[in-house]
Amino acid sequence: MKRELKKLTRDLAAWLAVQDENLLEPVERAGQVSFATNIESVEDLAAETEKNESIASAEKTLYQSYKERNMEPAKKMRLENLKEKVVSCRGCPLGAHRLNAVFGTGSANARIMFVGEGPGFQEDHQGEPFVGRSGQLLDRIMETVLGLNRPDVYIANIVKCHPMKNPENPEAHSNDRPPSADEISVCRHYLEEQIRIIQPLCLVPLGSVAAKFLLKTDTGISMLRGKIYDYEADIPGLDRKIKIIPTYHPAALLRNQNLKRDTWYDMKLVKSLLDSAT
Ligand code: URA
């Protein structure tokens, strides 16, 4: 069945390439597929119906990917506009001391979006999320379990500037701290807008702060992880729920190797979600 669908999809791709104007209404057309004339029995009819349903579903998939490809430039532009706002943001005291705002990086069409709590020393210096030791571990996890690299996913944080214990000294090491509730409430709309623009299949909060924020709960990460949740926010134009699969922060893995097994399990959940959606 899968092989047959793949072939149908290939044939359809070729056919659709020369019928571009029809691409705008594949679903309607799918309801009007004409039956073959050699139907002589109920079995023939059932087989024909199944074939037509396969075609309809393959058309829908093709249409979806066509639509996504065409949405990418608009999404990129919206992200660029939002980034400009973040770079000039002074909405909370973090903005006064940061070296660089850390907006987020990756594909505007990413199906997976990792969410950390906030930039650390390295991220503040380089202006990119997860570029320190935690980030290197995150890269390895992505590659080995998901088969994905940075350009395939999107990585962002809840707050966009480095929360420091001593904000007067951004050059000091061991100066990181979690963002405060006030800092989160000032900055949260940037991440929420990034999610509305990218519309990923799945959000992966890394660690307690991000998981609690996205799931609107006080429960800690060890209780939240290992399960799939819905992201309960209205996303205009989206007729599906974005999923949330929380896992440990890579910094926690660096401190405690025993958390690796659970993290691998969570990433396998992400992988199975990705596979079932293709
Ligand atoms: N930790 C985070 O939560 N985010 C980063 O970008 C880096 C480290």
Tokens 């791709």 belong to which residue?
13
In this predicted model, what pLDDT tens digit does every residue of 176-214 receive, in sequence order? 999 999 999 999 999 999 999 999 999 999 999 999 999
Question: What is the CB neighbour count within 10 angstroms for residue 234?
Answer: 6
Q: What distance lies between CA 63 and its chain's CA centroid?
A: 20
**Which amino acid would we find at residue 157?**
N
Per-residue model confidence (pLDDT) at position 128: 98
Q: How confident is the model at residue 161 (pLDDT cuts 50, 70, 90)?
A: very high
- To test the pocket of ligand 1, the residue of 102, 114, 126, 157 to mutate (highest count of ligand atoms within 8 Å of its CB) is 157
- Across all residues in the chain, what is the average pLDDT? 88
Q: In what order do the strands lie in the sheet with 112-116?
A: 105-106, 154-157, 112-116, 202-205, 243-244, 229-230
DSSP 8-class letter at 49: H
In angstroms and rounded to an integer, the radius of gyration of the C-alpha atoms of the chain is 22
Mutate to test the pocket of ligand 1, among 117, 126, 138 (most ligand atoms within 8 A of CB): 117
Q: Among candidates 74, 144, 156, which has minimal Cα distance to 115? A: 156
Residue 5 confidence (pLDDT): 64
Mean pLDDT, to the nearest integer, of 226-255? 96
Look at residue 278 in the predicted model and tell me its pLDDT: 72
Pocket of ligand 1 (CB under 6 A): 116-120, 123, 129-130, 134, 157
What is the 247 CA–ligand 1 centroid distance (Å)?
Answer: 14
Which H or E run contains 202?
strand 202-205
In the structure, what pLDDT confidence band is assigned to residue 71 with cuts at 50, 70 and 90? confident
One-character DSSP codes across 56-74: HHHHHHHHHHHHHHHHHHH
Least confident of 45-59, 76-90, 225-239: 45-59
Ligand 1 center from residue 60 Cα (angstroms): 38
pLDDT at 24: 39
Lowest pLDDT segment from 62-66, 77-81, 248-252? 62-66
Question: Which ligand 1 atom is nearest residue 116's CA?
Answer: 3
CB atoms within 10 A of CB 170: 16
How many Å lie between the centroid of ligand 1 and the Cα of residue 182? 18
Model confidence pLDDT, tens digit, residues 80-124? 999 999 999 999 999 999 999 999 999 999 999 999 999 999 999
CB 112 within 8 A of CB 146: yes
Which of 123, 124, 126 has most ligand 1 atoms within 8 Å of CB, for mutation? 123
Q: Which of 86, 94, 130 for mutating ligand 1's site (highest number of atoms within 8 Å of CB)?
A: 130
Query: How many angstroms is it from 206 CA to the middle of ligand 1?
Result: 9
Whether the pLDDT of residue 130 is over 60: the answer is: yes
**Residue pair 202/111 in contact by the 8 Å Cβ criterion:** yes
Q: Which of 83, 98, 88, 252 is nearest to 163 (CA)?
A: 98
Share of the chain above pLDDT 70, in %: 83
| Cα of 130 from ligand 1 centre, angstroms | 5
pLDDT at 254: 97
Could you say which DSSP state residue 126 is in?
H
User: Is 80 exceeded by the pLDDT of residue 229?
Assistant: yes
Please check the confidence at residue 69 and state whether its pLDDT lies above 60.
Answer: yes
Place domain 89-276 in its CATH homologous superfamily: Uracil-DNA glycosylase-like domain (3.40.470.10)
Q: Is 159 within 8 Å of 271 (Cβ atoms)?
A: no
Mean pLDDT of 133-155: 97
- Ligand 1 mean position, distance from CA 90 (Å): 20
Distance between CA atoms of residues 149 and 167, nearest Å? 33
Q: How confident is the model at residue 54 (pLDDT cuts 50, 70, 90)?
A: confident
